[in-house]
Each structure stands twice: as C-alpha cells, then as structure tokens.
Structure 1
Amino acid sequence: MHALPETLHVGMKVFDSTNAEIGTVEDFKFSDEDPATPGLEQNDVHPMDRERDDDLVSIMARAFAGEDGLSDELKEKLLREGFVRIDAEGLFAGDRYITPDQIARADGDRLVLSVPKSDLMHVH
C-alpha cells in the first residue's frame, strides 16, 4: 500500500511526471490505514479543526466541501486511502485530487507525481 510522504504540507508546489508545475497543495489527508497516523484525529484534513467531532460525515464535509463531482464511493475511497487536493493552475482549472500511488517523491517544497496532470481526478 502506498502512503503520502510524511513531509507533505499545504503550499507545496506540485509537478506532474513531465515536470510541469500544475498547482499547489491545498489540503491533504493521510490514510486511515497508515500505522504512523493512528486515529481519525491525526488524519484530519484541517489540523486546526482537530477539536471538532471527527466522525466520517464531518470529515467528508470538510474534505470535499462543494465537490459535487465526486461520488460518495469515491469520496470514501479517498478518505480511506488518503489523498492530496491541489489548487490547479490555469483558467477553469478546478480542484484535482492525487492518490498516494500517483506520487513519485516529495523534495522540500516540491511534490513530484509519477503521472501526467491528465491522469488526476478533476472536479470543476
């Protein structure tokens, strides 16, 4: 199973497999199954919100606010496996979601993907 890099943080620049800059990390959530991050409190998308009730519904509401383009099944899969949401560059770019298996490496303030931008889940 793939896991998100421990050095992942909001604001990192994201580059696809062609080394094109495609946006910045806006939000992320570590896998529910990651032994390094046990419990939902540690997996919360918004670290400042950890005092809130962290049931699945509230986590989904914060993680996918306004994202009607994702099915409930896909949202649950992303929450279970972990994801990165990026603020994509360009006019009408919308949000893009990265799964752990699409990440090649994290170097400092750069997140480099193993796939081109076109392979990412896209929500307008």
Structure 2
Amino acid sequence: MTEFTGPTGPIRDVTTGMTVVDASGETVGTVDEVHLADAGAATGAGQSPDEPGGPVTWIADAFRAGSELNQQAQDQLTRVGYIRVDARGLFSGHRYVEPREIASVVGDQVQLSVAADQLLK
C-alpha cells in the first residue's frame, strides 16, 4: 500500500480569486474555494464532526447552499479534492471541478480540460 503524499498536479497551484476557463476558452467564473484531497476523509451517513465547527462541518457547509450534489458525489469530491467555482451568466451558481478536470494553471487563470456544462453543480 502506498502512503498518501498530498496534492499533485495543477490543483496545488490554484488559489481563490483565479478565473476559470473551460476547454473551449469560455469563462466559467471565479475560484471561491480550494479543497485539497483527503484520502482519509470521513464520509457517508452517520458521520458527525468531532467538534462543532470542525473539518466535517466545514466540508458539509461547502456543499449545502444551493448544491444539487448527491452524497456520493460529495464524498468523492472530499476524497479527491475540488475547486468550487462561483459561476456567472448562463452557468450561474456553484460548479465543482475535480483535479483531473484541470488542464493547467497559468498566471491567474485555471484552464479546464472539459466544457463548463460537464462540471458538477
């Protein structure tokens, strides 16, 4: 078994405030949260935070407001990491980008390898 070594790939260079652009070059929105992978994350029903306001609560709060994500998708994003995008225009609301969907990070821009309509919401 290999030991989890932390974030790899372009997600480690993403910060809040960056512009997110989809595979066709269209602006999706702005990064408003970065959550790095947590291979040992507590998931599923019946899990509760160790303390009020603890890490499990923070993660639950990140998905709660306006999210259409089912529990399985939330668990997956918690384990692999994600960036939450405050989308605008036709794609308004939050969109969630998995690390594998990030093609590159250059300057203050995150370039995706997928179309905006393929992102989780």
- Runs of 4+ in structure 1 deviating by more than 4 angstroms, as ranges, are 1-4
AA matched with 2:54: D
In the superposition, the TM-score normalised over structure 1's length comes to 0.73
- Report percent identity of matched pairs: 33
Q: Which has the larger radius of gyration?
A: 2
Partner of 1:6: 12
1:74 to partner: Cα distance: 1.0
Confirm or deny: 8 A CA contact 1:12 1:25 kept in the other structure.
yes
For structure 1, the residue ranges without an aligned partner over 5 or more in a row are: 34-38, 41-51
What secondary structure sits across from 1:111 in the alignment? strand
Partner of 1:15: 21
Distance 1:88 1:8 in 2: 16
- CA displacement, residues 91-114 of structure 1 (integer Å, 9 cap, x when unaligned): 561111111111000011000000
In the superposition, the TM-score normalised over structure 2's length comes to 0.75
What secondary structure sits across from 1:64 in the alignment? helix
Confirm or deny: 8 A CA contact 1:15 1:23 kept in the other structure.
yes
Counterpart mapping for 1:38-117 below 5 A: 52-54=53-55, 56=56, 58-90=57-89, 93-117=92-116
Alpha carbons of structure 1 residues 112 and 66: separation in structure 2 relative to 1, 3 Å: same
1:68 to partner: Cα distance: 4.5
Partner of 1:36: none
